[in-house]
């Protein structure tokens, strides 16, 4: 299951620049045309930049429809065209190879987001990508623990050890989530595999009463727990925007300078 779209980026860029440049010949001053060109260029590249992310969601046990209704729909609503939803039982090695094969020509940044059992799977796929020497820009695990550790598929490896190829990892869990949190507090915490690896554990205290389903709910908006909105949903949005922005303004300034718009 995926939410995909396309945008004719090169054509759109060329048409905007050509049309605005030709406005100079219609009596508009060059400086005013250049200012408008720059504004439109910034807007266009912001739209285009969402295509630079490849987001793979992993649902948990019997949670495919839940993730479709919530995170798959939510990310599409935010404008991300390259989002797909995978299960927690498929081969991590096969999934990793598919990511690399599909991404060879696009050079997109890779984001893995796993909920419940899907959180275990997201870490496994990151490990498989490490063996293939491929980076993961962002790894997010949500409520990945607790009863999920009882399943045989989760035996024999440490889901809290974040692979070296992961540039940044966020781990969300709630102490009042009996399905997705380990009884021993320390067992919930992810660990880095190298110096200066960016990892963060975001914990919802027991007093917040954030349950397993609440941690992944995006709709209806009036039913989203205010702490989940503030510390989980908004944080993921911020990290995705940061990945977009890292190449946004370099692209804007490079193209604008080439066209003498600034």
**Which pLDDT tens digit goes with each residue over 16-41?**
666 656 655 555 565 665 666 656 65
In whole angstroms, give the CA distance from residue 241 to residue 255: 21
- % of the chain beyond a pLDDT of 70: 72
Which CATH number is 97's domain given? 3.40.50.1820
What pLDDT band is residue 5 in, cutting at 50, 70 and 90?
very low
Q: Which long-range contacts (CB under 8 A, 24 or more apart) does 251-256 make?
A: 251/45, 251/49, 252/38, 252/41, 252/42, 252/45, 255/13, 255/41, 255/45, 256/37, 256/38, 256/41
Residues 40, 120 within the same domain: no
In whole angstroms, give the CA distance from residue 15 to residue 21: 10
Question: What residues contact residue 99 under an 8 Å CB cut-off, 6+ apart?
Answer: 54, 56, 110, 125, 129, 134
Residues 131, 198 within the same domain: yes
Total domains in the chain come to 2
Residues 9, 117 within the same domain: no
Residues 240, 252 within the same domain: no
Residues 237, 252 within the same domain: no
Residues 179, 234 within the same domain: yes
Domain that holds residue 6: 2-45+248-258
Residues 88, 136 within the same domain: yes
In the prediction, which pLDDT does 76 show? Answer: 93
What pLDDT band is residue 149 in, cutting at 50, 70 and 90?
confident
| pTM: predicted TM-score of the whole model, two decimal places | 0.80
Residues 64, 83 within the same domain: yes
Residues 144, 158 within the same domain: yes
**Which pLDDT tens digit goes with each residue over 190-206?**
999 999 999 999 999 99
- % of the chain beyond a pLDDT of 90: 60
Q: Across the beta sheet with 198-204, what order do the strands follow?
A: 2-3, 83-86, 53-58, 109-115, 138-142, 168-174, 198-204
Residues 117, 186 within the same domain: yes
Residues 65, 178 within the same domain: yes
Residues 219, 108 within the same domain: yes
Which position has the higher pLDDT, 102 or 207? 207
């Amino acid at each position: 299951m995926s939410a995909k779209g396309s945008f004719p980026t090169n054509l759109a860029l060329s048409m905007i620049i050509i049309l605005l440049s030709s406005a100079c010949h219609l009596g508009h001053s060059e400086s005013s045309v250049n200012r408008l060109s720059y504004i439109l260029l910034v807007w266009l590249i912001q739209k285009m930049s969402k295509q630079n992310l490849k987001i793979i969601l992993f649902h948990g046990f019997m949670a495919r429809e839940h993730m479709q209704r919530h995170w798959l729909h939510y990310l599409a609503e935010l404008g991300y065209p390259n989002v797909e939803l995978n299960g927690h039982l498929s081969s991590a090695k096969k999934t990793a190879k598919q990511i690399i094969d599909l991404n060879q020509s696009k050079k997109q940044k890779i984001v893995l987001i796993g909920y419940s059992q899907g959180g275990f799977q997201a870490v496994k796929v990151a490990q498989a990508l490490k063996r293939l020497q491929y980076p993961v820009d962002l790894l997010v695990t949500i409520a990945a623990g607790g009863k999920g550790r009882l399943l045989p598929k989760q035996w024999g490896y440490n889901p809290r050890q974040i692979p070296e190829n992961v540039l940044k990892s966020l781990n969300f869990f709630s102490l009042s989530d009996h399905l997705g949190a380990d009884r021993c507090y320390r067992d919930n915490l992810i660990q880095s595999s190298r110096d200066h690896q960016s990892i963060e554990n975001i914990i919802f205290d027991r007093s917040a009463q954030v349950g397993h389903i609440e941690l992944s709910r995006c709709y209806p908006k009036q039913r989203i727990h205010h702490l989940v909105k503030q510390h989980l949903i908004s944080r993921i949005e911020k990290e995705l925007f940061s990945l977009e922005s890292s190449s946004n303004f370099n692209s804007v300034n490079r193209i604008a300078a080439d066209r003498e718009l600034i």
